[in-house]
């Protein structure tokens, strides 16, 4: 019998076989624009686009309603945490890149006094009704930045400084990490509570690898990352929710720890990174972790033909589908250099070849 999107995703997250492989979508603004044009949709018909693509996921969250905490320097965007970004052009478009790193040299006193959002200053009142409207889909709280330490701290202290913080147990750097973790954990808890049982799983994140090696040692992961991640996992499990984590680069070296911690699935899964191929992941962790991703945004969808995209999707499905536990998605947001016809081919192939007989 056909499953609802919610049933389909939860079955896959339990490392079992659903009726078809769940499908997810993430893309830059220009990809969104082109897909809307391709399918004859207006710019406000994004939910219609998701349904055409066969997307089984929806997210929920609370919007910030508090005071403005940081001023915007010229030619910069500044978010509620004080993270700066600047617009960078490239040959196929542009993006907002992190810059300035205002807490790079901050001492403990500066860290303690830096304005950050208060969990009280978020609007949780719309969460339940929004979840009910999307009840047939798999609804997640959180996202790739929830619980994330290295990447998010690097946005405001600089990546090099964050790695130094972790290696040297720097008091100021670790205090920033804990201030942010405490706030995000409370916002996430209140979000799940406000949904009144309508949230299906928690999404969190941590970038742990470069393309060919770990970003930090396993010892460092266990000293600083694992205990902070465990707080989010334990909170989700108190609501009986599965947890999936975004892990960029060569990250499978941490997956045995994730399994011990109660993680249900891993996301991104760049197949070109070391020990991240679909075959390696399936053979090593299949049945113990679910896999979300694997369709590389730096592979055929960006540089190949539609036929090569279809072949890539089919090859991935043939490896990942047996026994269940696979959720098809691009590894990151589809980038502006991906031809429209390749993106369309990806999703058409997922729907055609991802069906369990």
pLDDT in tens, 124-171: 999 999 999 999 999 999 999 999 999 999 999 999 999 999 999 999
Does 97 reside within a domain? no
CATH of the domain at 215: 3.20.20.210
Position 54 in a domain: yes
* 273-292 pLDDT per residue, tens: 999 999 999 999 999 999 99
Is 94 a residue whose pLDDT tops 90? no
The residue with tokens 């929830």 is: 146
Within 10 angstroms of residue 267's Cβ, the number of other Cβ atoms is 23
User: pLDDT per residue over 187-245, tens digit each?
Assistant: 999 999 999 999 999 999 999 999 999 999 999 999 999 999 999 999 999 999 999 99
In a domain, 115, yes or no: yes
- Count of domains for the chain: 1
Is 111 part of a structural domain of the chain?
yes
In a domain, 95, yes or no: no
> Could you read off the pLDDT of 324-333 as tens digits, one per residue?
999 999 999 9
For residues 72 and 82, the answer to whether their CB atoms sit within 8 Å is: no
- Examine the pLDDT at 90 and tell me if it is beyond 90: no
Residue 345's domain comprises 5-69+105-353
Q: Which pLDDT score is estimated for 357? A: 82
What's the whole-number mean pLDDT along residues 352-356? 98
Is residue 35, in this structure, part of any structural domain at all? yes
Q: Which two tokens stand for residue 49?
A: 């686009």
Residue 93: pLDDT over 90? no
333 within some domain: yes
- pLDDT at position 146, please? 97
75, part of any domain: no
Q: List, in sequence order, every residue forming a beta bridge with 244; answer none if it has no partner.
A: 203, 265
Q: How confident is the model at residue 92 (pLDDT cuts 50, 70, 90)?
A: confident
Per residue in 297-323, pLDDT (tens digit) is 999 999 999 999 999 999 999 999 999
Q: Is the pTM of this model over 0.85?
A: yes
């Amino acid at each position: 019998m056909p499953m609802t999107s919610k049933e389909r995703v939860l079955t896959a997250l339990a490392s079992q076989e659903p009726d078809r492989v769940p499908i997810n979508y993430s893309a830059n603004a220009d990809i969104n624009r082109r897909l809307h044009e391709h399918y004859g949709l207006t710019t406000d018909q994004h939910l219609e686009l998701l349904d055409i693509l066969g997307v089984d996921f929806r997210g929920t969250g609370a919007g910030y309603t508090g005071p403005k905490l940081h001023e915007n320097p010229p030619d910069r965007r500044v978010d509620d945490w004080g993270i700066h970004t600047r617009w960078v052009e490239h040959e196929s478009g542009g993006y907002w890149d992190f810059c300035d790193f205002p807490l790079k040299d901050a001492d403990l006193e500066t860290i303690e006094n830096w304005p950050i959002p208060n969990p009280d200053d978020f609007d949780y009142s719309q969460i339940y009704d929004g979840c009910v409207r999307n009840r047939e889909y798999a609804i997640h709280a959180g996202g790739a930045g929830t619980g994330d330490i290295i990447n998010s701290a690097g946005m405001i202290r600089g990546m090099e400084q964050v790695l130094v913080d972790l290696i040297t147990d720097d008091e100021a750097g670790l205090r920033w990490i804990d201030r942010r973790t405490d706030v995000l954990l409370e916002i996430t808890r209140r979000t799940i509570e406000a949904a009144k049982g309508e949230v299906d799983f928690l999404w969190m994140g941590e970038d742990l690898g470069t393309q060919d090696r770990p970003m930090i040692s396993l010892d460092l992961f266990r000293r600083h990352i694992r205990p902070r991640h465990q707080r989010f996992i334990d909170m989700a499990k108190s609501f009986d929710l599965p947890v999936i984590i975004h892990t960029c680069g060569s990250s499978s070296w941490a997956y045995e720890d994730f399994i011990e911690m109660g993680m249900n699935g891993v996301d991104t899964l760049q197949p070109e990174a070391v020990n991240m191929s679909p075959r390696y992941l399936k053979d090593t962790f299949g049945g113990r972790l679910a896999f979300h991703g694997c369709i590389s945004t730096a592979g055929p969808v960006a540089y190949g033909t539609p036929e090569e995209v279809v072949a890539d999707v089919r090859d991935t499905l043939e490896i990942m589908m047996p026994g269940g536990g696979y959720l098809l998605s691009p590894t990151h947001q589809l980038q502006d250099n991906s031809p429209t016809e390749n993106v369309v081919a990806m999703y058409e192939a997922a729907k055609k070849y991802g069906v369990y007989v």
